[in-house]
Structure 1
Amino acid sequence: FVKDSPNSASAASEAQPAAESKDFQLSNKTQRYLLTLARQRITAATQGQSWQLQAPELAEVQQPGAVFVTLHKEKRLRGCIGTTRAAYPLYQAVAELAYAAAFEDSRFPQVTAAELPALDIEISVLSPLQPISSADAIIPGKHGVVVRRGGRSGLFLPQVWEQLPVKEDFLGYLCAEKAGLPPDAWKDSGTTLYIFTVFSFTE
């Protein structure tokens, strides 16, 4: 299973022709199923229980999906791992990424069983990435952004606009903190920008 770390995002192969993303949603039943699945996966791992993923009957979750799983504890980030590649069924991606967010995010210690009651799970399903020719196409508060130049890349989900509401700051931090590029690299003609939208839901 190929995952994007919090500091990188592969964007070339899954990018779509430039066009405005269409808003999309998942049913309440599907949201509940995916959130329950994510919590069950993390709980089983913290308690050393065996885990076997069963294919569900819900059609929505059997389609390939690009998704991020974010963990918060007392409103503070506790882990976040995702993928921009819609290469696996959504239910499988959520289960794998929930585990990765809890145990493989190098910024945090592994989640313990004692933390589970205070842990909040958020799932963000991504639209296809769309290359843009100018940052003018980015709508603050709506679009997530991927920046890519050479072998370096980084991704911010739309939720990051809450902390960085000014576009220049958002893009500068994305370049410097996530992609390891100069803060103004997003202005360079050799840098490629991609936008996407997300459908996010939480417990």
Structure 2
Amino acid sequence: MMTTIRPAAVAGMFYPSDPAELAHQIQAMLMQAQTEAPSLVPKALIAPHAGYIYSGPVAASAYTLLAAQAGKIRRVILLGPTHRVAVRGLALPGADAFETPLGRVDIDLDAARLIAHMPQVTVSPQAHALEHSLEVQLPFLQTLLPDFKLLPLAVGMVAPEDVAEVLEALWGGPETLIVISSDLSHYLPYASAKRIDGETADAILHFREPISHEQACGGTPVNGLMLAARRHGMTPHLLDLRNSGDTAGDKNRVVGYAAFAFTEDDAADRQPARGKGEVLLALARNAITQNFGLPVKPVDQADWLNEPGATFVTLMQHGELRGCMGSLEIHRSLRDDVQFNAVAAALRDPRFPPLAEDEVAITHVEVSLLSPQQPIHFSDEADALAQLRPHIDGVVFEYGRYRSTFLPQVWEQLPQPRQFMAHLKRKAGLPQNFWSPDVKLYRYTVEKWKEYKDG
């Protein structure tokens, strides 16, 4: 029987057509991304799909995470939006293999048969023939994975729930990786794109769907992944967020790019992300109630609580701040840190009187788990402001003995970078218009959980 090959359609346009040049370019992007890569084992990735000169470095920040598990991955489920041919549902290619300058990738025909009966699944070679959103992901996968089969799905007009149903049928175990191909906003001025893309990234990190097609051209498969990931208790991680004005284009009309990883918990510790937050919230509340001699609730003492971690604990009453204390650097276990900061927020925040016993029941607890800090490199204040990512970055300001920080949550009250920075300087004890070449800035991200009812 004759083998049907879907040939490379955008080699020489979106990425080099010469195999040696392509391999060299990918290796260079992966090596650069490795210098800042976190230690994550992703079940799913979101990666951009523009020309490599524009979005390749952002995509590399996702794909470099595969190196540690490359030998385990045998199947890649790849979903991307259609740009040239309209299609209803999710379209299989009707081919046996895809080809790029780096060689052929076999289609997982067994996986295709698993979903072929679903009403939202169709076959459309036309939808795949010139589609770049799927093809540009393949050279990265070919470089990193020694032995895998591919199931590419071109996503057209379909409900996110139908996408999630297909993903669920193909979910598998560690042998299966899910990749969603999507860019973010298109052709906005640089500042507008940064603001809108920051809001989109924050929505993905907090499972706030739907993501519109104006926010992300792959909004439909992104929404489908978010539905499936939330049901599996997965944790999303933002790896990179830039646009073409940051990489290789001008800043008048830019396209936004982001990379995300979605992780599951290890088999030995099936504590889902939501459950993890519940444990940290319970530990924080117990630390406060125990200080007053009040009864505490039992808490699952999972092994991950012994790992080092940095947290902030925030106390709220009737929607207003009642105390917030935390750690910017890691210097004790996660268990000890959240308990220490809970008591500090209740009793030692200098902005508020110590919490009284009769306030405990009406006080809501929030816990933020901080990522390691990364320095922000800038030439002046305008450059620093342009690099801030609203609703994503927590920021540390340092100038000599002056130091302050705002968690990412503060963007909700101070949504403009200049306003955010002015208040950050004032919090440090400096005038709002202060600036010096000796200012240092650091960014971090947080996972945040909060109580929705008392006690």
Identify the TM-score tier after normalising by the shorter chain. 0.7 to 0.9
- Deviation, structure 1 residue 122: 0.3
Residue 83 in structure 1 maps to residue 327 in structure 2: yes
Is the 1:63–1:89 contact (alpha carbons within 8 Å) kept by the matching residues of 2? yes
1:179 aligns with: 428
Residue 198 in structure 1 maps to residue 421 in structure 2: no
Distance verdict in 2 for CA 1:120–1:55, change over 3 Å: closer
Structure 1 ranges of 4+ moved more than 3 A: 18-26, 54-57
Q: Give percent identity, aligned residues only.
A: 37
- CA deviation digits over 1:85-132, x for unaligned, max 9? 111110110011100000011111111121122110000011111111
Is the 1:47–1:113 contact (alpha carbons within 8 Å) kept by the matching residues of 2? no
Whichever residue aligns with residue 28 of structure 1, its letter is: R
1:148 aligns with: 398
2:309 aligns with: 65
1:6 aligns with: none
Is the 2:282–2:299 contact (alpha carbons within 8 Å) kept by the matching residues of 1? no
Distance (whole Å) between structure 2 residues aligned to residue 105 and residue 165 of structure 1: 25
2:418 aligns with: 168
- Deviation, structure 1 residue 188: 2.7
- Deviation, structure 1 residue 184: 3.2
Distance (whole Å) between structure 2 residues aligned to residue 114 and residue 197 of structure 1: 34
Distance (whole Å) between structure 1 residues aligned to residue 353 and residue 431 of structure 2: 29
Whichever residue aligns with residue 125 of structure 1, its letter is: L
Distance verdict in 2 for CA 1:167–1:198, change over 3 Å: same
2:284 aligns with: 38
- Deviation, structure 1 residue 20: 8.0
Distance (whole Å) between structure 1 residues aligned to residue 405 and residue 355 of structure 2: 23
Residue 159 in structure 1 maps to residue 405 in structure 2: no
Q: If each structure's helix is expressed as a fraction of its own residues, which one has the higher value?
A: 2
Q: Which runs of 5+ in 2 are unaligned?
A: 1-34, 39-236, 239-261, 264-271, 379-383
- CA deviation digits over 1:56-108, x for unaligned, max 9? 64122211111100000111100000011111110110011100000011111
Is the 1:144–1:158 contact (alpha carbons within 8 Å) kept by the matching residues of 2? yes
Distance (whole Å) between structure 2 residues aligned to residue 57 and residue 196 of structure 1: 27
State the SS of the aligned residue for 1:114: helix
Distance verdict in 2 for CA 1:19–1:132, change over 3 Å: farther
Distance (whole Å) between structure 2 residues aligned to residue 19 and residue 158 of structure 1: 20
Distance (whole Å) between structure 1 residues aligned to residue 449 and residue 299 of structure 2: 21
Is the 1:41–1:95 contact (alpha carbons within 8 Å) kept by the matching residues of 2? yes
Is the 2:288–2:342 contact (alpha carbons within 8 Å) kept by the matching residues of 1? yes
Distance (whole Å) between structure 2 residues aligned to residue 152 and residue 124 of structure 1: 23
| Highest RCO, 1 vs 2 (Cα 8 Å, sep ≥ 6) | 1
1:137 aligns with: 387
Is the 2:283–2:299 contact (alpha carbons within 8 Å) kept by the matching residues of 1? no
Map residues 111-122 of structure 1 onto 2, 5 A cutoff.
111-122=355-366
Distance (whole Å) between structure 2 residues aligned to residue 144 and residue 20 of structure 1: 19
Distance verdict in 2 for CA 1:72–1:55, change over 3 Å: closer
- Cα RMSD after superposing both structures: 2.4
Distance (whole Å) between structure 2 residues aligned to residue 20 and residue 158 of structure 1: 21
Distance (whole Å) between structure 2 residues aligned to residue 182 and residue 46 of structure 1: 39
Flag the structure with larger Rg. Answer: 2
Distance verdict in 2 for CA 1:83–1:179, change over 3 Å: same
